[in-house]
Amino acid sequence: MKQKAKTGEQLFQEHVNQLKRDRRNTRYWQLFIFISFFFLWEISSRLGWIDPLIFSSPTRVSKLLSENLLNGSLWFHLRITLLETIAGFLIGTISGIFLAFLLWYSKKFSDIIDPYLVIFNALPKVALGPIIIVALGTGYISIITLGAIICVIVTALVVYNGFRSVDPNYIKVLNIFGATKWEGFKTVIFPASLPTMISTFKVNVGLAWVGVIVGEFLVASNGLGYLIVYGFQVFNFTLVLYSLVLIAIFAALMYQTVAKLEKWLIKKL
Amino acid sequence: MSYLNIQQISHYYFNQNNYTNALKDVSLSIEKGKFTALLGPSGCGKTTLLSIIAGILKPSEGTVLLQQQEINKKITSIGYMLQQDYLFPWKTILQNTLTGPKIQGELTDKSIEKAKELLEEVGLGSVSDASPNSLSGGMRQRAALARTLMTNPSLLLLDEPFSALDFQTKLKLEDFVSALLKEYNKTSILVTHDIGEAVAMSDEIYVMKANPGQIHQHFEVPEEVRNLSPFEARRHEKYHELFDRIWEELNQLEAKSKNR
Ligand SMILES: Nc1ncnc2c1ncn2[C@@H]1O[C@H](COP(=O)(O)OP(=O)(O)OP(=O)(O)O)[C@@H](O)[C@H]1O
Ligand SMILES: [Mg+2]
């Protein structure tokens, strides 16, 4: 009897150890790929397997990185792009949720607007870039708008569907107590659809980056998107790759932050 | 004039390409303090009728008078317990119980105190801060009952409140609810398709039939059975007598609807 219990314990311990080992193994592989990528990039650039003028090399990129870090240019451009992305993300997400609320609140409104939403959703929003720039000027406003407009309709449609899939009997419970439509939204629809809304955040972070970078391609005179275009024009591909690396790092960080926020919020609910 | 008057209610549901006549010419009246059961097969319009009485569904035709007043959405003296508990999973049991006062803008220390007392009374005092998800089916039903009683309704509508429970829990809860409602002298309407439950708990029984939903027959529960608790009532011989009569009646109804 006692023997048996001990084996169960041991098996469990082995299982835990196995899991740990697997996880460590995965990490090693990830690290291996990471290092070999930069190693290969460096080697092939040095040995001339790839054109160093186009593909640059990790050492050159990191040299530029440390230079720009010291002279403040990194922070200057990064800050602008980050702020634009965050603003675009917030404005796009919040107005998307607000639009979803309007669609939910008035069936008439949602029926009327439906075909326009479908068209606008299908339209590649970056194609609106030139029009937005003509209308709003060549400043930050246009770039933020582009970042926002790219998420707003998807958010509205997804969140509206979330609102509608809430069991109407919950609303019935409130109506028995004489609740108004707005109270029903506040007490039931909104909290019940929070998980849906948070899941749109993750998608929107990626979308806002697309909008902002394209916006900077089109008009900006600073920011990471601008650096890419500038580097391309003066054939400085170290600069292009440097901007790309920065974008990759910070897009991933932002995504992780939102994912953390999601976990935290879900746990709190 | 009775306490509750249901006059010639008809209701139609409209779909894309057809309609359902859920209720046709339903009239009945209920005296204050009485316990009435609505019995009938699935789809005969029981839930529809309750929603109309509660004022959250406007009937296609007819009126409902509560103490000579036409009911509307604003009337809060009606409590309605839905077919399932529909507790809000993101709120604690106590917060769920306080839904009514919160909506009606009467969330005071006094109402919180009252909610705690009510939860104590339905045997949930120790789990008032728990999430509904951690409660058993019977506990959830009791929490839903506490939420319904919180606004102190004088008319109580119960839509198959015990149908999702195992037999034993169901018998206990029947006794509990019956005693509680007698104590507060509530007028109640219970929807069920359990004949035994209807006979054991109520003073009057209306049997409904489907397609379209109509009142088919009215039974009075004998005095001897009424005064017993549901559990004891089930052992009385008059209980069995009435049970058999209603059983017969429902069988005939079913046979008729099959022949058509
Ligand atoms: N929202 C709705 N839209 C369309 N038809 C409906 C709707 N609600 C109910 N019905 C129809 O009306 C009829 C009566 O429904 P109701 O829910 O009142 O029956 P019920 O007696 O409560 O049934 P059950 O015992 O299964 O709960 C059924 O035929 C049903 O299909
Ligand atoms: Mg029903």
B46 pocket-lining for ligand 1 (C-beta < 6 Å): yes
B84 touches chain A (CB under 8 A): yes
Query: For A71-127, how does the pLDDT look when each residue is reduced to its tens digit (9 = 90+)?
Result: 999 999 999 999 999 999 999 999 999 999 999 999 999 999 999 999 999 999 989
A190 touches chain B (CB under 8 A): no
pLDDT at A208: 94
CATH of A68-268, one of 3.30.70.330, 3.40.50.800, 3.40.50.150, 1.10.3720.10: 1.10.3720.10
B151 touches chain A (CB under 8 A): yes
Query: For A168-180, how does the pLDDT look when each residue is reduced to its tens digit (9 = 90+)?
Result: 999 999 999 988 9
Of B56, B79, B84, nearest to A175 by CB-CB distance is B56
The fraction of chain A above a pLDDT of 90, given in percent, is 80
Mutation to test the A interface, candidates B48, B72, B78, B86, most A Cβ within 10 Å: B86
* Ligand 1 atom having least distance to the Cα of B49: 18
Q: Please tell me the distance between residue B60's alpha carbon and the centre of ligand 1 in angstroms.
A: 15
Give every strand in the sheet of B214-220, ordered side by side: B78-81, B155-159, B187-192, B35-39, B204-209, B214-220
Contact between residue A126 and residue A210 where contact means Cβ atoms under 8 Å apart:
yes
Contact between residue A193 and residue A77 where contact means Cβ atoms under 8 Å apart:
no
DSSP secondary structure string for all residues of A192-261: HHHHHHHHHHHHHHHHHHHHHHHHHHHT-SSSHHHHHHHHHHTT-HHHHHHHHHHHHHHHHHHHHHHHHH
pLDDT at B254: 82
ipTM value: 0.86
Residues 186-245 of B with CB under 8 A from A: none
Q: What is the mean pLDDT of residues A182-198?
A: 92
pLDDT at B256: 80
Q: Please tell me the distance between residue B36's alpha carbon and the centre of ligand 1 in angstroms.
A: 20
- Indicate the pTM of the whole model: 0.84
pLDDT at A146: 94
A265 touches chain B (CB under 8 A): no
Test B86 with A192 for CB contact under 8 angstroms.
no
**Residue A149: strand, helix, or coil:** helix
pLDDT at B74: 67
B156 touches chain A (CB under 8 A): no
pLDDT at B169: 82
Of B80, B86, B103, nearest to A183 by CB-CB distance is B103
Nearest CA to ligand 1 atom 26: B42
Of B54, B86, B104, nearest to A170 by CB-CB distance is B86
Pick from A37-41, A157-161, B66-70: least confident: B66-70
pLDDT at B203: 92
B38 pocket-lining for ligand 1 (C-beta < 6 Å): no
Pocket test for ligand 1, best of B46, B51, B157 (most atoms within 8 A of CB): B46
Give the residue ranges of chain B where pLDDT is below 50: none
A53 pLDDT above the threshold of 90: no
**Phi and psi, residue B61, nearest 5°:** -145, 155
Q: Please tell me the distance between residue B56's alpha carbon and the centre of ligand 2 in angstroms.
A: 15
Pocket test for ligand 1, best of B48, B49, B83 (most atoms within 8 A of CB): B48
Q: CA of A175 to nearest chain B CA: how many angstroms apart?
A: 7
* Residue A247 token pair: 């974008």
Q: To 5 degrees, how large is the angle CA B149–CA B154–CA B156?
A: 60
B100 touches chain A (CB under 8 A): yes
Query: For A218-266, how does the pLDDT look when each residue is reduced to its tens digit (9 = 90+)?
Result: 987 889 999 999 999 999 999 999 999 999 999 999 999 988 988 887 7
pLDDT band at A4 (very low <50, low <70, confident <90, very high): low
Q: Does the CA dihedral A72-A77-A81-A83 come out positive or negative?
A: positive
pLDDT at B187: 93
Of A169, A177, A191, nearest to B76 by CB-CB distance is A177
pLDDT at B226: 87
Who's near B114: CB < 8 A, 6+ residues apart? B150
